[in-house]
Amino acid sequence: MDTKPPLPPFTRESAVHKVRLAEDAWNSRDPARVAQVYTEDTRWRNRAEFLAGREQVKEFLARKWARELDYRLIKELWIHDSHRIAVRFAYEWHDDSGQWFRSYGNENWEFNDAGFMQRRFASIKDLPIAATDRKFFWPLGRRPDDHPGLSELGC
């Protein structure tokens, strides 16, 4: 059976690592890559959209990143237990008219024993911002290790 380390039960260190792996995957903006960390029968709530299964996740992510341009995300561990992790996050993006947004949210994740996410519940709010108010500056892709996180940025 495939596994997606780090595996539950999570320690603080392994939970922080799992969160960073998720951030890195989402910053790739590759729906197929991101979907591989979820169980085949994963269940999601993203805002008011309910998804069931890895294929729906891939379709959702393709739609998301076609609309949310120049997407850059930072995730931060909030709390964890043996098989669950809660994160807070923010991401910046712009629409096709050039309007920038910073989207803030929280996610609750539940993992199976093999380290695949079986449930994801996300609450997100979009804040229109001026381009001059952006805080996430790095080339598209993985956030560099020396770029500040959410707490350091005051987000």
Summarised one tens digit per residue, pLDDT across range 33-88 is 999 999 999 999 999 999 999 999 999 999 999 999 999 999 999 999 999 999 99
Q: Where are the domains of the chain?
A: 12-134+147-153
What pLDDT digit, counting tens, does each position of 78-123 carry? 999 999 999 999 999 999 999 999 999 999 999 999 999 999 999 9
pLDDT of residue 1: 60
Going by the DSSP 8-state scheme, the letter that residue 135 receives in this structure is -
Q: What angle do CA 86, 87, 92 make, to 5 degrees?
A: 155
Q: Does domain 12-134+147-153 have CATH number 3.10.450.50?
A: yes
Helix (DSSP H) and strand (DSSP E) numbers for the chain = 4, 6
| pLDDT for residue 127 is more than 80 | yes
Predicted TM-score of the model (pTM): 0.96
